[in-house]
Structure 1
Amino acid sequence: MIYFVGAGTGAVDLITVRGKRLLQTADVVIYAGSLVNPELLQDTKDGCAVYNSAEMTLEEVAAVMRRAEQSGKTTVRLHTGDPSVYGAVREQMDVLDSLGIPYESCPGVSACFGAAASLNLEYTLPGVSQSLIITRMEGRTPVPERESIESLAAHGASMAIYLSAGMLRELSEKLQKGGYRPETPAAIVYKASWPEEKACVCTVGTLEEMAKANQITKTALILVGDAVAHRNYQRSRLYAPDFETEFRGKRE
C-alpha cells in the first residue's frame, strides 16, 4: 500500500496523528526533501528506507514504489503541506493505477493555514470576504489564462498566493490591475511555522519593498485582501443573541 501523507507546513508537530502513525510504521519513505522538515524522519522505524524525491524524477519515484509493493512493503510518500495543493500527486496516482497498486491519502496542514495561524488571521470575515482564493503566479509552470492574477483579483476576495515570492513586482502590478487598491492589506509569510519564520504585514503596493527589506526571495506565501487587516468586519450572525439555531434559542 502507498500512503500519500501531508507533512504540514513545517513544524514537526503539525503533521496529523494519522500521518505520524503512518510514518512510524512505513517500510519505505519518499519525502519532498526541498520542503519537508527532515526532523520528521526521526519518527521512522529502524530499517526504513528513505528517499529524497527532490533528487528524483516521477519515473524514479514510481520505480521505488513498485519495488516496495512487490516486496510487500508499506510506502509513505511524504509531501509538504497538504498533498492536494501543488503536490503533483495526481500524476503519481495515475501511474499507480496503471500498475494496479492501491493507495490512500492522508491530509495535512497547507501553508495558507499555517500562515493564517502565524498572523491570527481569519480569511472569511463577515462583511469583508467569504471566499479564499488559492492560486499562484505563472512561472516555469503555466497557469490557465482564465485563472490569471488579474481575473481572480477582480473578485476582491481573500487570496493566498503560492510559489510567487520571486516575482513580487509583477504580482503587485497584476493585483492592482485586477482591482486591488495599492493600500489593500497584504502579508508575506516566510516558512510558516518553521523556527526561522518571518511574517511581514504590508500592502499590495509595498510587497516587493517588504520582501527586499526582509531578504525574502522564496519559500513564502503571499496573502492579500482586507481580511489581513481584520478591520471593519461584521459580527458573525451564528453567535448573535437574536439568531436561533438547532442548538440554541433566541435570547431576549
Structure 2
Amino acid sequence: MSTEIGTVWFVGAGPGDPELITVKGRGLVERAGAILYAGSLVSAAAMRWAPADCVVADSKEMTLEQMSSWLIAQAGRCQTVVRLQTGDPGLYGALIELVQPLDAAGVPLQVVPGVSSAMASAAAAVESLTLPEVTQTVIFTRVEGRTPMPPGESLAALAAHHCTLCIFLSITLLGKVASELLAAGWSPDAPVVVVHKASWPGEEKIVRGTVATIQALCREARIATQSMVIASPTLGARQWTTLAKSKLYDASFTHRFRRASVPAENLTLESP
C-alpha cells in the first residue's frame, strides 16, 4: 500500500460504445487501482480493460456524499483512482459537486474529456450540426423539468436563435419541447431527430420526425430514456440538391497552405 495520496481521474467514458473512450481514458482504466463508474449510464463493458485486482464500484445507488467518500478512501490506498462518467465529465455531470470535497481533503485530481452523446448522435444519424450559410451555432441545453432553468435560458428563448439545438435529458418532455419550439417560431414541419443510446452496440435507435410528430413517433418506438433530441435547420442536408460549400476548400479561396486556382467571380455557391 502506498503512503502517498493517489490521484482521482474524472474520465469521460463517451456516449456508450466502449471503444469511444479516449486512448488516455482507456490507459487510466488499464492501470487503475479503483474505479467508480456510473452504472446506469456507462456500459459495464468499459470495465473490460480494468486490472483483475482493481476495486470496481457502481455509483448508481450512491449519494454524492457517498461517492466523494469512496473516492477519497480509495485515493488513500492506490495511486490511480478513476471516476468513469458518461459522455464528457464537464457536461451535465456532477463534476464540481464531486471535486469540491476532494479539494477540501487535499486529494489531487485531473479531468479527461470524453465524446458527448450530442456528437455521437449526430454521427449515428449522419448529420452535421453546422453548415455554411445555414447555421454556425450549436446550443447544448435541456428543457425545464424538475431542474429549473436560469433566467433567459428557457428552450423557447434559446430556440429563437433558430440554430442547432442539442437537447439533453428531455426525452420524457417531448410535448414541452415541441411547444417551446413552436413558441419560438419553428414550423410544425421543422425536422427533429431523436437518437436513443447513441453508439451502444445493438441498442441504438434513430427516430426522425418533425416538431409536430416526434413525440408520437418516439412513443411508438418505446423510447423514454437515454436519448438525445436534435432540432436543427441542418437536418436532412444529406438529401439536399443544393448546398453552400465551405469557403476553406473553395478553389477561389487563398490561405497559407494553398493559393486560389479559380477567380472568385467565376464560382457561384448555392444555398439550400
TM-score (norm 2): 0.90
- Residue 57 of structure 2 corresponds to 51
Structure 2 spans left out of the alignment, 5+ residues: 1-6, 263-272
Larger mean CA deviation between 230-239 and 211-220 belongs to: 230-239
1:237 aligns with 2:247: yes
Counting matched residue pairs gives 252
- Partner Cα separation in structure 1 for residue 233 and residue 213 of structure 2: 15
Distance 1:159 1:45 in 2: 40
Q: Equivalent residue for 1:171?
A: 177
Q: Aligned partners of 2:151, 2:143: CA distance in 1, in Å?
A: 11
Deviation string for 1:143-201 (max 9, x for gaps)? 11311000000000001000000011111011110121111111010000012111111
Q: Does 1:93 align with 2:99?
A: yes
Query: 1:125 aligned to 2:135?
Result: no
Instruction: Tell me whether 1:14 sits opposite 2:20 in the alignment.
Output: yes
Equivalent residue number for residue 87 of structure 2: 81
Displacement of 1:73 in angstroms is 3.2
Cα deviation per residue 1:196-216 (whole Å; 9 max; x = unaligned)? Answer: 111111111111111112111
For residue 200 of structure 1, give the secondary structure of its aligned residue in structure 2.
strand
More helix by share: 1
- In the alignment, structure 1 segments of 5+ residues that lack a partner are none
Aligned to 1:183: 189
Q: Distance in 2 between matches of 1:73 and 1:237?
A: 49
Q: Are the counterparts in 1 of residues 33 and 78 from structure 2 also a CA contact under 8 Å?
A: no
What is residue 211 of structure 2 aligned with on the other side? 204
Amino acid at match of 1:99: A
The higher radius of gyration belongs to 2
Q: How does 1:17-56 map to 2 (within 5 A)?
A: 17-56=23-62
Is the counterpart of residue 69 in structure 1 residue 75 in structure 2?
yes
Distance 2:166 2:103 in 1: 32
Runs of 4 or more off by more than 4 Å in structure 1?
Answer: none
Deviates more, 1:27-36 or 1:66-75: 66-75
CA distance in 2, matches of 1:95, 1:234: 50
Alignment partners' CA distance in 2, 1:222 and 1:179: 18
Describe the SS at the equivalent of 1:139. coil
Are the equivalent residues in 2 in contact too, given 1:127–1:233 (CA < 8 A)? no
Deviations 1:34-83 (A, max 9, x none): 00010111211011111111111111111111112222432100000111
Question: In structure 2, which of residues 219, 226, 230 is the aligned counterpart of residue 219 of structure 1?
Answer: 226
Matched, 1:108 2:114: yes
Q: Distance in 2 between matches of 1:19 and 1:43?
A: 11
Corresponding residue of 1:251: 261
**Aligned mates of 1:199, 1:13 — CA distance in 2:** 20
- In structure 1, give the amino acid aligned to 2:108: P
